[in-house]
Chain A
Amino acid sequence: MKLYTKYISLLLKSQLQYKASFTMTVVTQFIQPFALFAGIYFLFQRFGNIQGWTLYEVFMCYAVVGICFATSTCFARGFDSFAEMIRTASFDRVLVRPRSTVLQILGASFDIKRIGHFMQSVFVLVLAIISADISWDLARVVMLANMILGGSVIFSGVYMLQAAAAFWTIEALEVANIFTHGIKEHASYPLNIFPKWITILFTFIIPFGTINYIPLQYLLGKIDGTGWLYAFIPLLGSLFIFPCILAWKFGVRRYSSAGS
């Protein structure tokens, strides 16, 4: 852990050196998601609601997913760009060091510029919380925190799987975008609008449903039940990370260097 904080503080310092470029990127990251935001807004202006869900409820979904996406791309950036490491065989260097590979890849990259996207999502979240009619209690607060935590873990898991796949493919897997950028774009909407197979895919296989749709139903007062039960469903979903770590370990064991 101490080593990790050291890694991060070094990366942070190096990125903050280029002030103009840093500011420009953060501003871009902040502005970009507004296109999707505006798109959702105008669709609701035209149609009123989407199967009983209102604009602010969907914004809540959008914001949670956005925060998780920004957080995990910031921290797990190393896994996102891992294919490059395989291709150039710089992964060899990681292997000879006496520390865990996961820690080193996590520490290899830290993309603080994602703060722009993060801020945009927080902005939408605040907007949604003010405007949506939610009867807050302790269980719901814990639930929201768990949703953000769980979602970040699941996104990181997907990045890890994508990186693990690179052990076999040696190149970046464009298909993985479906589950990172695809989720970011489309997971703003409640899962029940999709056909069964998509719902199952996002509940049991890549469990994004556990961090937005299922707890949100309770959070927004759409279903009754034990609040604390729903509060911990996101954590159940984040168990997804374990098979991902397993896949990663399996990949590492199989690794044979690509270059000189």
Chain B
Amino acid sequence: MKPYISLLQVRFLNGLQYRAAALGGLATQFFWGIMLVFIYKAFYGGAASSNGFSFQDLVSFVWLQQAFLSFLFLYDWDSEMLDMITTGGISYELCRPVRIYQVWYVKLLSKRLSRGILRFAPVVILGFIMPYPYNLSLPGSPVSLLLFIVTLFLGLFLLVAISMLIYISIFKTMSPIGSVGIFSIIGEFFAGMTIPLPLMPSWLQNICMALPFRWTADLPLRVYSGNIGTPEAITGIAIQSVWIAILVLAGAFIMKRITRLSVVQGG
């Protein structure tokens, strides 16, 4: 366990160095949030609520989504790992006395952690000081806030597990653009990142509930405002944990098989 924790620390601290990039990202996220909020406002028109999802809850959803983008967005282009798979660099990685699944999982996790920690606060603050009704509301209750933090982090662990499966699929497809591009966009859609779940038709919501993606983004983002109540959030935490267990075990198993059988690319 120890090497993985130190790897997490090193990578996390390393990621914190990219402050200028974070500043650029801040402007983008803020602008994105504003545009989305206005678009939804126009859709809602005068209505205060749609399908049990109030405009205020939706605005909080949008701001938190922008603030914690690196915890929520499935799309992740890690050129270091992609090159390793497509150019054969992975053979060195396999020689090391650590499990490759765990190492890659930690790498992806620490990158997202450092980005998220570096970027979330300014967006949250800007969200709070926006004029009504375009502002980020306070959490529904102290319990909602606590549950939000728990589901957000469990969601992150689940997201990285899904992300790992995408990287593993590249061993089969040998097309990083294909794998990362297509699987990410599908996953994000089912996660409620394109439009929030309550605004989808009910048949589509049912599909989303059955897939793992929704538990990474939609759940925490709606727990915050209290749109998803405490009992439902606690069930959600249980479901998140089950998905994490399933996908991590599956990922580690497939990784082991594939690396045993894989043909290293390149000379």
B175 at the interface (CB under 8 A from A): yes
- Taking the closest CB of chain B, its distance from the CB of A33, in whole angstroms, is 9
CA distance A175 to B195 in the complex (A): 24
Contacts of A177 in B (CB 8 A): 28
Q: Please indicate the chain B residues that have their CB under 8 angstroms from the CB of A96 in the complex.
A: none
Q: How far is the CB of B216 from chain A (nearest CB, A)?
A: 16
B211 within 8 A of A: no
> Smallest Cβ distance from B77 to chain A, in angstroms?
13
Given the interface pairs A38-B194, A174-B21, the reply to whether A43 lies near B27 with Cβ below 8 Å is no
CB-nearest residue of chain A relative to B51? A46
Q: Which residues of chain A (165-208) have a CB below 8 Å from chain B? A: 171, 173-175, 177-178, 182, 185-186, 189, 193-195, 198
CB of A81 within 8 Å of the partner chain: no
Selected contact of A25 from candidates B44, B178, B185, B189, CB within 8 Å: B178
Q: B177 touching A24 by the CB < 8 A rule? A: yes
Bound form: Cα–Cα A27–B173 in Å: 14
Chain A residue at minimum C-beta to C-beta distance from B24: A174
Look across to chain B and name the residue whose beta carbon is closest to the beta carbon of A172. Answer: B24
* Min CB–CB distance A163 → chain B (angstroms): 16
For residue A242, CB closer than 8 A to chain B, the reply is no
Q: Which residues of A contact B45 (CB under 8 A)?
A: 47, 51
Evaluate contact between A47 and B44: CB separation under 8 angstroms.
Answer: yes
Q: Report the Cα distance A24→B43, complex, angstroms.
A: 36
**Chain B nearest Cβ from A192, distance in angstroms:** 9
A28 touches B (CB below 8 Å): yes
A195 proximity list for chain B (CB < 8 A): 38
Q: Known contacts being A35-B185, A51-B45, is A193 close to B195, with CB within 8 Å?
A: no
Assuming the A-B contacts A32-B185, A35-B189, A51-B42, are A43 and B195 also in contact, with contact meaning beta carbons closer than 8 angstroms in the complex? yes
Contact of A198 among B21, B27, B38, B178 (CB under 8 A): B38
A190: min CB distance to chain B, Å: 9
A248–B74 alpha-carbon span in the complex (Å): 36
In contact, B42 and A193 (Cβ under 8 angstroms): yes
Q: Would you call A141 an interface residue if the criterion is a C-beta within 8 Å of the partner chain's C-beta atoms?
A: no
Min Cβ gap B198→A in Å is 9
Which residues in window 189-239 of A have CB below 8 A to B? 189, 193-195, 198
What is the interface residue range for chain B against chain A? 35 or more
Docked-complex contact A46 and B39, CB < 8 angstroms = no
Q: Please give me the residue from chain A that is nearest to B175 by CB atom.
A: A24
Query: Which residues from B are CB-within-8-Å of A35?
Result: 185-186, 188-189, 194
Contacts of A103 in B (CB 8 A): none
Chain B positions 6 through 29: 1 when the CB is less than 8 Å from some CB of chain A, otherwise 0: 000000000000001100110110
Q: Does A31 contact B (CB under 8 A)?
A: yes
In the assembly, what is the distance between CA of A195 and CA of B35, in Å? Answer: 10
A182 touches B185 (CB 8 A): no
**Once the chains are docked, how many angstroms separate the CA of A176 from the CA of B188?**
23
Q: List 24 A-B contacts (CB under 8 A).
A: A24-B173, A24-B177, A28-B177, A31-B182, A32-B181, A35-B188, A46-B43, A46-B200, A47-B50, A50-B39, A50-B43, A171-B20, A173-B24, A174-B27, A175-B24, A175-B27, A182-B31, A182-B32, A185-B35, A186-B36, A186-B39, A189-B39, A193-B38, A193-B39
Which residues of B are interface residues toward A (Cβ below 8 A)? 20-21, 24-25, 27-28, 31-32, 35-36, 38-39, 41-45, 50-51, 173, 175, 177-178, 181-182, 185-186, 188-189, 194-195, 199-201, 204
Q: Give me the interface of A with B, judged by CB distance under 8 Å.
A: 20-21, 24-25, 27-28, 31-32, 35-36, 38-39, 42-43, 45-47, 50-51, 171, 173-175, 177-178, 182, 185-186, 189, 193-195, 198
Q: A32-B185, A43-B43 are in contact. List 16 more A-B contacts (CB 8 A).
A: A20-B175, A25-B175, A31-B181, A31-B185, A32-B182, A35-B189, A39-B195, A42-B199, A42-B200, A50-B42, A174-B25, A175-B28, A177-B28, A178-B31, A178-B32, A194-B35
